[in-house]
Chains A and B, each alone.
Chain A
C-alpha cells in the first residue's frame, strides 16, 4: 500500500490519541475519562487495522477482538460504579 497513506493515517491517529489523552488527564469527572478512554481504545483498534491492511496479515485480528471487548466491559463497569461527586470536586472544575 502507498506509504504516504500509511504515514497520513499514523499522523492523524497520533494527534487523535494525544487529544484524547489530554482529556483523560483533565477530566474533570470520572465519566469524562471513561468516554476519552473509549476514544483511545478506538484509536488503537483503527491503528491495528491500518497495520494489518498495510502488511496484509491477520495476526492482530484476535487482539482487535480483545480490545473491543475490554473497552466495552471497562466503560460499563466504571459507569456502573460512578459515584455522586462531592461539592469540593465540583469546585475544582
Chain B
C-alpha cells in the first residue's frame, strides 16, 4: 500500500466515526428539533464523505472508485434536501417554538401573504 494511503485511511475512518459519535451525543443532548437537525447533518455529509475517501484509497479498480464518487455526490445532493423538507414540515406543523428563533423571516412573509421561499 502506498505510504500516504497508509496514514490517510485510518485517520479518515476515525474522523468519520468521531463525527458520528458527536452527532449522536448532540442528538441526545440538544433541546429542540432544529438544533438536533443542525448536529445530524455532520456525519451525514462530512463523515460519510471521509469514510468514502478511505474506501476509495483502499480499492484500486476504476469501477469501484466511480461508484464511490457517485455515492458522495448523491449524499451532497440529498442530505440538504431532506433536512430542508423536515425543517419545513416542522415549521408548518407548529413544532418549532418561535421564542427560540432570533429572527423569523418566514413568519413575516407568511403574515404579508406573500409566497414564501421555504
Residue pair B89, A17 in contact (C-beta under 8 Å): no
In the complex the two chains form, is B95's CB within 8 Å of A46's CB?
no
- Interface size band for B: 35 or more
- 21 pairs across A/B with beta carbons < 8 Å? A1-B9, A9-B13, A13-B20, A13-B21, A16-B23, A16-B25, A19-B27, A23-B28, A32-B36, A38-B44, A39-B40, A42-B20, A42-B40, A52-B59, A61-B67, A64-B71, A65-B70, A72-B82, A76-B85, A82-B89, A82-B90
Q: Taking beta carbons and an 8 Å cutoff, which residues of B are in contact with A?
A: 9-10, 13-14, 16-18, 20-21, 23-25, 27-28, 33, 36-37, 40, 43-44, 47-48, 51-52, 54-55, 57-59, 61, 64, 67-68, 70-71, 74-75, 78-79, 81-82, 85-86, 88-90, 93-95
